[in-house]
Structure 1
Amino acid sequence: MALASDGRGTAGLLTAAILLGCAKEMPPPGAHPDELPPSILTIRPAPDSIVVDFDDQLEVRFDEPVRIPNDITRQMFVSPMETYEVEMGFSGMRLMPEDGWREGVVYCYTIPTEGISDLLRNRMEDPEEFCFSTGSEILDTHVGGSVIDVLTGQPPREARVLFWAGPDSVPYGAITDSVGEFVARGLPPGEYEAFGFVDRNRNLVPDRELESYDSVSVVASIDAGQSLHFVLVAPDTTPPLLARAISAGRETVQLEFDDYLLSPQPGEPVITIRDSAAASDLEIVAFLVGSADAVEFPSDSAAVDSTGVAEDSAAVADSGAVAPAGADSTSEAAADSAEVEEDPILPSRFITVRLAQPLDSATYLVSVSGAVNVRRLTGGGDTSFVAEPEPPAVDSAAAAAAAGDSAVAPADPGAEDPVGLPIDSAAGGQDTLGLLRDTLGLPPDTLGLPPDTLGLPPDTLGLPPDTLGAPPDTVGGRRRSGNGRDRSRDPAVARRRE
Structure 2
Amino acid sequence: MPPPGARPDEVPPFIVRISPAPDSTVVDFDGALEIRFSEPVRIPNGLAREMFVTPMETYEAQTGFSDLRLRPEDGWRDSVAYCFTIPTDGINDLLRNEMEEPVEFCFFTGADIPHTSVEGEVIDALTGQPLEGARVIFWAGPDSIPYGAISDSTGRFAARGLPPGEYEAFGFVDRNRNLIPDRVLESYDSTSVTASPEAPTELRFVVVAPDTTPPLLARALVVGSETVQLEFDDYLLNPQPEAPGIAIRDSATNATLEIIATLIGSADEVTFLSDSAALADSVAAADSAAVADSAAVGDSAAAEAPSPDSAGAAASDSVAEEDPVLPSRFITVRLGAALDSGTYRVSVTGVVNVRRLTGGGDTSFVAEPEPPSDDSAAVADSVAAADSAAVADSTAAEGDSVTVQQDPVPPAPDSLDIPGVPSDTTGAPPDTVEVPPDTVGVPPDTVGVPPDTVGVPPDTVGVPPDTVGVPPDTVAAPPDTARRRA
What TM bracket, shorter-length normalisation? 0.5 to 0.7
SS at match of 1:240: coil
Partner residue, 2:166: 191
Asked if 1:66 corresponds to 2:66, the answer is: no
* Post-superposition CA distance 1:103-148 (Å, at most 9, x none): 4322111234555444555554554332223335222211111112
Equivalent positions of 1:103-118 (< 5 A) are 103-113=78-88, 115-118=90-93
CA distance in 2, matches of 1:430, 1:250: 47
Partner residue, 1:374: 354
Q: 1:263 aligns with which of 235, 238, 255?
A: 238
Do the aligned partners of residues 133 and 348 (structure 1) sit closer, same or farther apart at CA in structure 2, a change above 3 Å counting?
same
Q: 1:358 aligns with which of 329, 335, 338?
A: 338
Do the aligned partners of residues 72 and 331 (structure 1) sit closer, same or farther apart at CA in structure 2, a change above 3 Å counting?
farther
| Range with bigger deviation, 269-278 or 43-52 | 43-52
Q: 1:347 aligns with which of 318, 323, 327?
A: 327
SS at match of 2:35: strand
SS at match of 2:167: strand
TM-score (norm 2): 0.68
CA positional deviation for 1:100: 3.1
Equivalent positions of 1:312-327 (< 5 A) are none
Partner residue, 1:254: 229
Q: 1:294 aligns with which of 264, 269, 275?
A: 269
Equivalent positions of 1:49-448 (< 5 A) are 49-113=24-88, 115-119=90-94, 123-135=98-110, 137-300=112-275, 328=309, 340=320, 343-394=323-374, 427-428=392-393, 432=397
CA distance in 1, matches of 2:16, 2:239: 52
Instruction: State the one-letter code of the partner of 1:109.
Output: F
User: Which runs of 5 or more residues in structure 2 are unaligned?
Assistant: 279-283, 285-305, 403-428, 435-486
CA distance in 1, matches of 2:375, 2:224: 22
Partner residue, 1:474: none
TM-score (norm 1): 0.66
SS at match of 1:281: coil
Instruction: State the one-letter code of the partner of 1:241.
Output: L
CA distance in 2, matches of 1:115, 1:205: 23
Do the aligned partners of residues 249 and 337 (structure 1) sit closer, same or farther apart at CA in structure 2, a change above 3 Å counting?
closer
CA distance in 2, matches of 1:88, 1:187: 29
Instruction: State the one-letter code of the partner of 1:79.
Output: T
Do the aligned partners of residues 359 and 188 (structure 1) sit closer, same or farther apart at CA in structure 2, a change above 3 Å counting?
same
Do the aligned partners of residues 380 and 302 (structure 1) sit closer, same or farther apart at CA in structure 2, a change above 3 Å counting?
farther
User: Which runs of 5 or more residues in structure 1 are unaligned?
Assistant: 1-27, 304-314, 316-324, 412-423, 438-459, 466-498
CA distance in 2, matches of 1:378, 1:183: 34
CA positional deviation for 1:272: 1.3
CA distance in 2, matches of 1:435, 1:120: 89
SS at match of 2:192: strand
Instruction: State the one-letter code of the partner of 1:161.
Output: V
CA distance in 1, matches of 2:315, 2:200: 28
CA distance in 2, matches of 1:93, 1:249: 67
SS at match of 2:273: coil
SS at match of 1:280: coil
* Post-superposition CA distance 1:421-478 (Å, at most 9, x none): xxx98824788379979xxxxxxxxxxxxxxxxxxxxxx975799xxxxxxxxxxxxx
Do the aligned partners of residues 106 and 216 (structure 1) sit closer, same or farther apart at CA in structure 2, a change above 3 Å counting?
same
CA-based RMSD of the aligned residues comes to 3.9
CA positional deviation for 1:183: 0.8
Instruction: State the one-letter code of the partner of 1:388.
Output: E
Which structure exhibits the higher relative contact order, with contacts defined as CA atoms closer than 8 Å and separated by 6 or more residues? 2
Do the aligned partners of residues 84 and 461 (structure 1) sit closer, same or farther apart at CA in structure 2, a change above 3 Å counting?
farther
CA distance in 1, matches of 2:376, 2:201: 68
CA positional deviation for 1:185: 0.9
Count of paired positions? 380
